[in-house]
Chain A
Amino acid sequence: AQSVTQLGSHVSVSEGALVLLRCNYSSSVPPYLFWYVQYPNQGLQLLLKYTSAATLVKGINGFEAEFKKSETSFHLTKPSAHMSDAAEYFCAVSGGGFKTIFGAGTRLFVKA
């Protein structure tokens, strides 16, 4: 079985500051991990995914995430926030089969 926890329902950063969105997972099998972004009134877009290759995964728009098995974490980071990064971010885990479990989401606010 899989589960995922996103720490912090809201995160606020200043433009140009580091973005860190936290995600911890549990999985009884080697996990596939995803980060998705949702902009207002749009469907999810895939930011990046981990599929047991390199532990540091680079995604679109300057985001990256590091898979840390010992910490069961897959935190999302971006060195410098931009106003256009303001959105809702979802972490998700899959056991490689059909079902995907989503975190509750983290709303990112970017202050000018």
Chain B
Amino acid sequence: GAVVSQHPSWVICKSGTSVKIECRSLDFQATTMFWYRQFPKQSLMLMATSNEGSKATYEQGVEKDKFLINHASLTLSTLTVTSAHPEDSSFYICSASEGINEKLFFGSGTQLSVL
């Protein structure tokens, strides 16, 4: 089946630095990718919807300048957490689909810890 690769799976960084997370669709063209974050014991929260070649659509309350999303190709979307702070520590996961009514596939997630 289709595979979505997310990298890195785990990252520790210092406060004030930026971290980039990649989400790749390995054997299909992902016209749409979604980015989520999750805090321990809570459900996923949709951060943004990313369509190839256009600006991401952010959910209310998500800072666009803080969480930069780039979907430059049909197989790659990136999430950059800029000037990370300890409160940004979370589990980030991406998902991708080929299009409307197509199956959704998940990356394995990235655990971010900001010291």
Contacts and interface: CB of A to CB of B under 8 A. Distances in A.
Q: Do A and B bind?
A: yes
A44 B46 contact: yes
A34 interface: yes
Interface stretch (B18-26, B66-74, B77-85, B94-102): B94-102
B-side interface mostly = strand
B36 interface: yes
Contacts of A44: 34, 36, 44, 46, 95, 104
Given A38-B104, A44-B46, A105-B103, A100 B91 contact: yes
A98 B90 contact: yes
Contacts of B104: 38, 44, 88, 90, 105
Interface string B86-115: 000011010101011101101001010000
A107 B44 contact: no
B43 interface: yes
Q: How large is the interface on B (under 10, 10 to 19, 20 to 34, 35 or more residues)?
A: 20 to 34
A96 interface: yes
A102 B104 CA distance: 11
Contact of B44 (A40, A51, A100): A100
Contacts of B38: 94, 98, 100
11 contacts: A32-B41, A36-B44, A40-B101, A41-B32, A41-B100, A41-B101, A43-B36, A44-B44, A94-B38, A98-B38, A104-B1
Interface of B: 1, 32, 34, 36, 38, 40-41, 43-44, 46, 49, 90-91, 93, 95, 97, 99-101, 103-104, 106, 109, 111
